[in-house]
Structure 1
């Protein structure tokens, strides 16, 4: 069975979705949506099991969702099961557990849901509980149709994107002006050249999390061709432009490649930025400060918008939403949908925004409180919203299999400069992974 349609079908479905949801916009729709939850029977009971392949801890779940849901639905017993290193979803299902709500980020959502037969079309439930997709950020709302254009397998609950972090102490040390919102990659690479040097120890100007930059690439290149279900890394010429601008550009500074050799042919990453503190600028997830709060508290940092391509001003990374889904096996689908619907209301989106989860609602009132109840409220958190989102391309259940091989191509390209050989070898490797997965 194919889970991908042609790119044209995806675009058409997305446009249709946008038109349908736009017809239901306005304050009246929002009020009725919230009312559907507020008038629910407080004495209603349900036993719901929630699972995610994300590996989030129970404490993290409760802080973000569990405590608020318990208060909103006092009669619901909501059990969250954390993925374990040796006990994933397949083992859980084999043991006879029923999962009512499955959630994961866009990168792993399709494979986690589809490979385990948990997909359920939520279209009718969304209408029943008046879930208003027109109030969401457009590319995020449209993305619900990327797995299957005629079905709704998940609902976006929170979002993510890429920004540029910088170590203010290093800029001060070398007398270099701080980066600014709205820079291009050309400008960022020029700035990086002033910071890549040896001064007692090596310092590097700019690097990025290659897996996240690839998965959320600004050129909207799909990992898998939706028509052929084959990898795109060798056949789509835009990958060369992307690698050359984002990864090869910073490496042209003298001393960069020598430092990569010290790192066993890898590019500077999290350890160099957060612990060694010899990496001046690092492109990473906007949410990552809440994943490593202690490390960020130990350094003098700030953030600006992700640099943009010269040809795409004000276009940042793709959105990287996390979806919640009612599963096919749930015997309490209405109750599970009520939980998900509540997570998308302005009330709950405001709570999530305050603690630092990027909201999916396209509301200035919700966005302006982003991170204001976090330890980093004095930082330039507005940088997360400075750029627009790049369009999200067609998604495949195989994307998660291709991410690591695509990322491993980054240092090989930097060290060898041989795009054709590296991309062709990566294509052969990933094509085999897709073929094996189909078996």
Structure 2
């Protein structure tokens, strides 16, 4: 498969949700990495008895395994490196993953060994139920260096323990339309640009009226497109007792909207306008968006849906913060607390989250928790990826901040954040009223 096609398929998938069929005493969908999916009722002892060559057997959970190289690649690479290990893949469709995994783990049986985590909330639930094995003793024994993840691994720690390491990664960057910048005679965004400089560019790049208007920037309707920049410096999270730190960022978003430099929230929401159409139709010159959108644009160019020149830059940063800070989310991988192969499971997790695996996965267009020069060059070599060293540099970061922290109440809090965000952006709340509402409702959720 050509790299460009793989890159488009993988990154467009973004951080896909996942599912797993229950294992406890019932039939599970298990796939030998060397064979096809079939219904089985085997236990690990049965597998070991029938496994040829006295191979060690490891079971891992995945979703949509047959249609995605995200997991296949690292499973195959590990077995090639360890011919004495057979990996059984417990796979199911994405939308059933958390429910089925929860049922499986509630049976407290030795399969699965290794768990790819769907989202942070489910990881916290598993940790609270003591269904995940803390990795700290393994890391201490191996003198494992977490710095290779640029701060992301530390943010996965929960209640003082590490339950997963970064596997797949997505983060925010700035997309821009080179042709619109050229037409305006304005230099392209740099990889060291403040949000104030971004606002100035948005003003310069706004032109036209009505249906032919081109906006200098574009903010999608997500609450994260405001709060991300407020937590970008790592000093705050979206779970706080006092949300006054959000005020300047909401004032900035409202100013861009009031001046007509971005489309107004109400229009986007009412018309259900997707951010991809705004950028593809050249209705905006710049757009902060996740790294997964690279694949969307590559696919769009490959299919001749779009033909304009585009580029990427590091996400702008606060004035008092150096370039290289970004906001994103991870797909972690951890170990079941019930595994009967803890050492082998740890060895697999180490490999899956290593620099070696990062370079292998890059050939499939997968961004991982580790950035290496080799992996970035591999991804950037895809056809239709923007040309130029600055675009490759745009994929690098020095600090990786989670868009939301590891908090057991994060799902409830996120709902409140979205509701208040909408009220502020449509001006049913002033910024101060919105902050007061956040302080009150989050305090109720947290019991403060």
Which bracket does the TM-score occupy, shorter chain normalised?
Answer: 0.7 to 0.9
Residue 223 of structure 1: aligned partner: 238
Change (3 A) 1:177 1:141: same
User: Conserved in 2, the CA contact under 8 Å of 1:305 and 1:387?
Assistant: no
TM-score with structure 2 setting the length:
0.71
Q: What is the CA-CA distance between 1:419 and the residue it aligns to?
A: 1.1
Change (3 A) 1:395 1:117: same
- Is 1:76 the counterpart of 2:83? The answer is no
Matches within 5 A, 1:293-304: 293-295=298-300, 297=302, 298-299=305-306, 300-304=309-313
Change (3 A) 1:310 1:362: same
Residue 151 of structure 2: aligned partner: 139
Work out the CA distance in 2 between the residues paired with 1:64 and 1:44: 20
Matches within 5 A, 1:59-208: 59-62=68-71, 64-74=73-83, 75-85=85-95, 87-94=96-103, 98-104=111-117, 107-108=120-121, 110-114=123-127, 117-128=130-141, 130=142, 132-145=144-157, 147-149=158-160, 151-199=161-209, 200-208=211-219
- Is 1:239 the counterpart of 2:246? The answer is yes
Work out the CA distance in 1 between the residues paired with 2:182 and 2:273: 21
* Counterpart selection for 2:256 from 250, 261, 267: 250
Coordinate RMSD, CA, aligned:
3.6
Work out the CA distance in 2 between the residues paired with 1:120 and 1:84: 23
Work out the CA distance in 2 between the residues paired with 1:252 and 1:77: 56
3-state secondary structure, aligned to 2:91: strand
Residue 413 of structure 1: aligned partner: 424
**More divergent stretch after superposition (268-277 vs 296-305):** 268-277
- Is 1:289 the counterpart of 2:294? The answer is yes
User: Conserved in 1, the CA contact under 8 Å of 2:70 and 2:361?
Assistant: no
Change (3 A) 1:279 1:47: same
TM-score with structure 1 setting the length:
0.72
* Counterpart selection for 2:393 from 367, 370, 382: 382
Residue 359 of structure 2: aligned partner: 350
Q: What is the CA-CA distance between 1:65 and the residue it aligns to?
A: 2.7
Change (3 A) 1:240 1:89: same
User: Conserved in 2, the CA contact under 8 Å of 1:121 and 1:153?
Assistant: yes
3-state secondary structure, aligned to 1:403: helix
Change (3 A) 1:180 1:267: farther
3-state secondary structure, aligned to 1:160: strand
Change (3 A) 1:184 1:395: same
Change (3 A) 1:255 1:359: closer
Matches within 5 A, 1:383-398: 383-385=394-396, 388-389=399-400, 395-398=406-409
Q: What is the CA-CA distance between 1:117 and the residue it aligns to?
A: 4.3
User: Conserved in 1, the CA contact under 8 Å of 2:206 and 2:214?
Assistant: yes
Q: Deviations over 1:17-74 (max 9, x none)?
A: xxxxxxxxxxxxxxxxxxxxxxxxx96321403147xx88741434553332343344
Residue 20 of structure 1: aligned partner: none
User: Conserved in 2, the CA contact under 8 Å of 1:155 and 1:324?
Assistant: yes
Change (3 A) 1:344 1:308: same
Change (3 A) 1:106 1:49: closer
Work out the CA distance in 2 between the residues paired with 1:401 and 1:354: 38
Q: What is the CA-CA distance between 1:134 and the residue it aligns to?
A: 4.5
Matches within 5 A, 1:254-403: 254=260, 256=262, 259-264=264-269, 270-290=275-295, 293-295=298-300, 297=302, 298-299=305-306, 300-318=309-327, 320-361=329-370, 365-366=373-374, 368-369=376-377, 371-379=379-387, 380-385=391-396, 388-389=399-400, 395-403=406-414
**More divergent stretch after superposition (74-83 vs 308-317):** 74-83
User: Conserved in 1, the CA contact under 8 Å of 2:376 and 2:392?
Assistant: no
User: Conserved in 2, the CA contact under 8 Å of 1:196 and 1:202?
Assistant: yes
User: Conserved in 1, the CA contact under 8 Å of 2:224 and 2:403?
Assistant: no
For structure 1, which runs of at least 5 residues remain unmatched after alignment? 1-41, 226-231
User: Conserved in 2, the CA contact under 8 Å of 1:162 and 1:316?
Assistant: no
**More divergent stretch after superposition (191-200 vs 262-271):** 262-271
For structure 2, which runs of at least 5 residues remain unmatched after alignment? 1-52
